[in-house]
Amino acid sequence: MLAPNFKAADFLAAMQALLPRGRVWPRDLDTVQAKVIAGLAPSYERQTARANYLLVDAYPATTYELLPEWEATLGLPDPCAGAAPTIQQRRAQVVARLTNVGGASIPYLIGFAASLGYTVTITQYTQARSGMLKAGQPCCGYDWNFAWKITAPLNTVVRAVAGAMAAGDPLAAWGNKVLECEFRAIMPAHTIPIFAYA
């Protein structure tokens, strides 16, 4: 349900309807009283528009003015975001942190990467065991039980979107540093991530 977006004319009519009855309280639009009320009505229109915008801005995926407050709540910005992240990248990081419920499963990690704006695949490894290997496969040692490979595109490009960017944001940003940094922050401590780009 959308919030009503009342105009100045709506406020003028409402305020005139709330005036007391009598000859001293005329409803004609050319009276001094109506002109004073008409002068106040645009302020109420602006306040209503700002209040309605707050409903949009309070949501992390569409926030702009409240983005610094969301970031402060979540301990952002951090080194993962890089030197000058775009508004869109900052929002993605806020949403990823808010929706991060924890976990170590492959679907969870793929979903976490997707919330950051990256498309990845993850491969788990295991040590070599007799009866499981075929001719030509590598003989992997014990440490391979803790290794996993994150495969992502060589460059994930974040393009500017009208209405979602701010003045000074680049028209495109790319790289995978945010992905690597965020994954290193949430990965189980005993695991060994291998980042591969194709």
Domain boundaries, the chain: 8-57, 80-197
Distance from the Cα of residue 118 to its chain's centroid: 14
Residue 195's pLDDT is what?
Answer: 92
- Kindly report, residue by residue over 139-194, the tens digit of the pLDDT: 777 888 889 999 998 877 777 677 666 777 767 767 788 888 888 888 888 899 99
Cβ burial of 165 (10 Å; 0-12, 13-18, 19+) is middle
- Please give the mean pLDDT across all residues of the chain: 84
**Per-residue pLDDT at 165:** 67
Statement: residue 129 has pLDDT above 80: no
pLDDT tens by residue, 83-97: 667 888 888 889 888
Per DSSP (E only), the strands in the chain are 121-124, 147-152, 157-159, 172-174, 192-197
Inform me whether the pLDDT recorded for 99 exceeds 60. yes
Token pair 């030197």 is found at 83
Give the global pTM: 0.59
Mean pLDDT of 78-87: 74
